[in-house]
Amino acid sequence: MKIAVIGGGAAGLMAAAAIRERSPGTEVFLIEKNDGLGKKVIISGGGRCNVTTGLRAIREVLSKYPRGGKFLNSVMRRFPPEAVHAWFEAHGVPLKIEDDMRTFPVSDDGHDVVGAFERLFEGSAVRVMLKRHVIRVERTDGGYRLIFKDGEPLDVDRVILTTGGQAFRHTGSTGDGYAFAESLGHRVTPLAPSLNSFFAKEAWPKEVSGLSFAKARLRTKFAKAYEFTGPMLFTHRGVSGPAVFALSSLIAFEAYDAKAPMRLTIDIFPDISEDALFTRLAELFREHPAKILVKVLDFLVSRSLAETLCRELGLHEETRVAEVPKKDTRRIVAWLKGIPLTVIGRGAGDEFVTAGGVDLKDVDPRTMESKISPGLFFAGEILDIDGFTGGFNLQASWAAGRVAGESAVL
């Protein structure tokens, strides 16, 4: 049997590995248009590669997918995070679970993750074909024919599409697989960037760039309200971090730009009520009546943010706090509990995953095989599945890729 795996990212690597382990004699063609395997895997997690999650309860893991969680139930139970963890350690990549439950190689080097597959494929029936660009996939009487940009066509019995989405275009994820899927009868749902940063209209975030919060509550509203609480940071163009990425995932299909901006509020004291924060600030004012406003605010926030707050509210930094009226104390607290930002765009080109993809209704969740074109399988970001940051997208790719590979040799 000959099986073509188109796309050498996480899902494709694991699909080829599963075939290699389940049926060593099956001829596998792992086709990648880049000059190396796993480009996006290597750069994920800032180059450290957030392999999977340290969470173990499947129901909790599945709750981290805004789209596709229910579909993943079967494959996730067959190849859950602990199995992924064990697989990599068994293949020479020791892993560590950090305090936030993200899982990385002990080496903090994504090359080690891809290297495990490269070693596995050496001397096996897996033929790695780099710098080969598939431009068309055709159904034949006996299986499928792959047409390349250059070179002879390739006839195979089965195809596993793991071409990724449109995120990180410089790594080769340009969405070619959507066209292949559509040509074989599949529908592709609307696409949108997800897990991206927000660009703000305001210039002041640049002045506090790098300032981070372990916990902040972000809120916005379109036809419905959205919110997410978690770590975030200010950037020179707006805001970023896990909470921002998660919120961007929830609103992936909402429209906002410079002409129709999104109103975002950030509560940097999410565990304290507005009244409680007011009481705390009022006490600070009473304890330090001779100090100037900006110095007392230092007890609550960084100096850079204190200066920004004063400027945004039109308050004089050097006013003695004994002279600050109660109404201004209320305004300060309201600002800290709902810092307003006008979001005019996403971090174009910086999105981590693509929301949307091949419609899940036409894919068997138990085998990852097409319900329309027998012998065609899908795995990874090409599908209408995306998760929050924290190893969930790679976990989905490993799980679906493994099941697709195992099913393809049955």
pLDDT of the residue at 352:
73
Q: Are residues 16 and 55 in the same domain?
A: yes
Mean pLDDT of 390-402: 97
Spell out the residues 6+ positions from residue 50 whose beta carbon is closer than 8 angstroms to its own. Answer: 44, 102, 103, 104, 389, 390, 391, 394
Q: Judge whether 31 and 129 are in contact, CB under 8 Å.
A: yes
What does residue 286 show for φ and ψ, rounded to 5 degrees? Answer: -70, -35
Place of tokens 């924060």: 277
| 3 state DSSP class of 110 | helix
Q: How far apart are CA 15 and CA 22, in angstroms?
A: 10
Does the pLDDT of residue 308 top 50, yes or no? yes
pLDDT tens string 4-19: 999 999 999 999 999 9
Q: Are residues 341 and 364 in the same domain?
A: no
Spell out the residues 6+ positions from residue 156 whose beta carbon is closer than 8 angstroms to its own. Answer: 2, 3, 4, 29, 143, 144, 145, 146
Q: Are residues 362 and 305 in the same domain?
A: no
Q: Are residues 314 and 281 in the same domain?
A: yes
Does the pLDDT of residue 349 top 50, yes or no? no
Q: Judge whether 394 and 353 are in contact, CB under 8 Å.
A: no
Domain total of the chain: 2
CA dihedral 302, 305, 311, 316 (to 10 degrees): -10
pLDDT of the residue at 166:
76
Q: How far apart are CA 238 and CA 259, in angstroms?
A: 17
Q: How far apart are CA 163 and CA 179, in angstroms?
A: 11
Geometric angle at alpha carbon 114, from 71 and 82, rounded to 5°? 45
Does the pLDDT of residue 380 top 90, yes or no? yes
List C-alpha distances in Å: 388 to 53, 276, 372.
Answer: 11, 32, 30
Q: Are residues 310 and 393 in the same domain?
A: no
Mean pLDDT of 371-379: 98
Share the mean pLDDT of the chain.
95
CATH of the domain at 11: 3.50.50.60
List C-alpha distances in Å: 347 to 107, 194, 350, 406.
Answer: 29, 10, 5, 37
Q: Which domain holds residue 286?
A: 196-350
- Count of H helices and E strands in the chain? 13, 19
Q: How far apart are CA 118 and CA 339, in angstroms?
A: 48
What band does 146 get if pLDDT is binned at 50, 70 and 90?
A: very high
At which of 350, 383, 399 does a domain end?
350
Could you tell me how far CA 88 lies from the centroid of its own chain? 21
Mean pLDDT of 40-48: 92
Q: How far apart are CA 400 and CA 11, in angstroms?
A: 7
Mean pLDDT of 292-317: 97
Q: Are residues 153 and 50 in the same domain?
A: yes
Q: Are residues 380 and 288 in the same domain?
A: no
Q: Are residues 63 and 210 in the same domain?
A: no
